[in-house]
Amino acid sequence: MAGDTPRRAVVVGGGISGLAAAWELSGGAHKSPAPPQIVLMESSDRLGGALRTAMFGGRLVDVGPDGFLGRRPEAFELCQEVGLGDTLVPIAGRGAAVVVRGRVRMLPDGLVLGVPTRFWPAARSGLLGLRGQLGLARDVLVPRPDRRGPIGDRSIGPLVARKLGRRVVDTLVDPLMGGIHAGSTDDMSAAATFPVLLAAAQRRGSLMRALRAEVPVPAADAPPLFWTLSGGMESLTERLGDVLNERGVEIRRSAPVERLERTGGRWGVHANGTVTEADGVVLALPATPTSLLLHGHDDEVVGLLNGIEYASVTLVTFRVDAESVPAPLKGTGFLVPRRSHPSRGSDAWAVTACTYLDQKWPHLARDGEVLLRASLGRSDDGRAAGWSDADVCDRAWSELSTFMGLTGTPLESMVVRFPDSLPQYRVHHLLRTTGIESAVARLGGLSVAGAAYCGVGIPACIASGRAAARSLW
């Protein structure tokens, strides 16, 4: 610090990670008496990044992420810290389903991220067929020993397939885990996305029994697993923008950062033809723009960042006349396994999942209507990104009609696209992350945050933003 001038921090990126970083820099729950000067720069004209809420059918509906996991404390706590505790809404629906042989069937009890932990519920579910049942039976009677790798990471699909059979992966695990990340479990890091599975696989004996021991059954009075906000998830990022403003944080929208310059131990942040000098910079961006900004500063970190691939996702929300939905909907929605299309060819299902939005979040329910949301796009399926909005709607409606027996046409629809939005955590992703973080730390006065590193969920992004702020200087 020069004389009495406070240090200046620039946060680049106004998604949830960057906003959480700015919140932490300003003191977090306990406003700092002597915070640094903070400037947040966001390239678009709005805060929130992937978090998007829209007025749809006369109510505020999340047209992007629609809730967060309550088992991790970060998102819940942040909502309370910024005064949104009264608007937290717990999930209402219970249970999810999967498309098997063209029909929507409820998932059995006892799954942990799609992996069965009990033989009977999964074997009796009718989802797995004889081959699937035999795979489960083998795990109970003659469990296969683990093939441990020397470095301690494995891809989820082959790991589970070896223990429980390929059918379990294709029908249960890949749709769930692949759905969360819009990727394939065949090359998804267990250490980065499902560490308890890795721990369970390294125990002796049955994987199902080991996973049961790793993940105890939640108590009957355990708090709900998922939460949302009655004003939509974007109400969190909007509120963060307001409270940061009240704390004197300067928020610059439509300010795409084009270059970082290192001079005399400080950073020069270039945006819109001006240079903002900073003692510390938090880059809360996806991997690709982060790597562009670090070009010329460290070749190793640029290479590591460029190795993180992204999947694009398209969401289409439908407001539907209840008369168009023939059977009562059960649970919160269903998943569509990649390999479940009868032809298995290039015409595979485009829809990867459907959420019954107003069953999941009852404050969205209106008499005589149903809100459905279809997800399209995965790391190995970029078709929807090339379709027009009208084609996305037609295709999604047609596939939902096949699965659910919908009739007629939707009352209203909205397509929202999330290009290159979900980072793919390949095997050894955590080594890559460690390499990036240490290379960035060596540059001095710099830290990175966001979904690219240690978790894509909103709580993980908040944790990452806050940690990046704490490690800045």
Which residues here bind ligand FAD, judged by CB under 6 A? 12-18, 41-44, 49-51, 64-68, 256-257, 284-286, 289, 313, 315, 418, 421-422, 450-451, 456-458, 461
Q: How far is the CB of 96 from ligand FAD (least distance, A)?
A: 13
Cβ of 82: how many Cβ atoms within 10 Å? 20
Q: How far is the CB of 251 from ligand FAD (least distance, A)?
A: 12
Asked if residues 16 and 465 have their Cβ atoms less than 8 Å apart, the reply is yes
Q: How far is the CB of 248 from ligand FAD (least distance, A)?
A: 20
As given in the structure block, the two tokens for residue 392 are 């996305």
CB nearer to ligand FAD: give 100 or 454.
454
Which residues sit opposite 373 in a β-bridge?
A: 317, 355
Q: How far is the CB of 456 from ligand FAD (least distance, A)?
A: 4
CB nearer to ligand FAD: give 45 or 221.
45
What does the alpha-carbon distance between residue 341 and residue 410 come to, in Å, rounded to a whole number? 24
Q: How far is the CB of 255 from ligand FAD (least distance, A)?
A: 6
Q: How far is the CB of 364 from ligand FAD (least distance, A)?
A: 14
Q: How far is the CB of 17 from ligand FAD (least distance, A)?
A: 3
Among 129, 91, 96, 69, CA closest to 336? 96
Amino acid at site 204:
R
- Count of all residues that appear for the chain in the document: 473
Among 297, 344, 296, 240, CA closest to 29? 240
CB nearer to ligand FAD: give 290 or 324.
290
Q: How far is the CB of 422 from ligand FAD (least distance, A)?
A: 5
Residue with tokens 């500063």: 297
- 366-389 per-residue burial string, b: 16 or more CB within 10 A, e: under 16: eeebbbbbbbbbbbebebbbebee
CB nearer to ligand FAD: give 108 or 333.
333
CB nearer to ligand FAD: give 190 or 374.
374
User: CB pairs under 8 A, 24+ apart, for 92-95?
Assistant: 92/359, 92/360, 92/361, 92/362, 93/331, 93/332, 93/356, 93/359, 93/360, 94/331, 94/332, 95/330, 95/331, 95/332
CB nearer to ligand FAD: give 200 or 282.
282
What does the alpha-carbon distance between residue 44 and residue 52 come to, in Å, rounded to a whole number? 13
Residue with tokens 């399926």: 381
CB nearer to ligand FAD: give 56 or 418.
418
CB nearer to ligand FAD: give 52 or 395.
52
CB nearer to ligand FAD: give 101 or 259.
259
Q: How far is the CB of 263 from ligand FAD (least distance, A)?
A: 20
Among 2, 66, 36, CA closest to 360? 66
> Phi-psi region for residue 256, left (φ > 0), alpha (ψ -120 to 50) or beta?
beta
Dihedral sign from CA coordinates of 234, 235, 239, 240:
negative
Q: How far is the CB of 111 from ligand FAD (least distance, A)?
A: 19
CB nearer to ligand FAD: give 157 or 455.
455
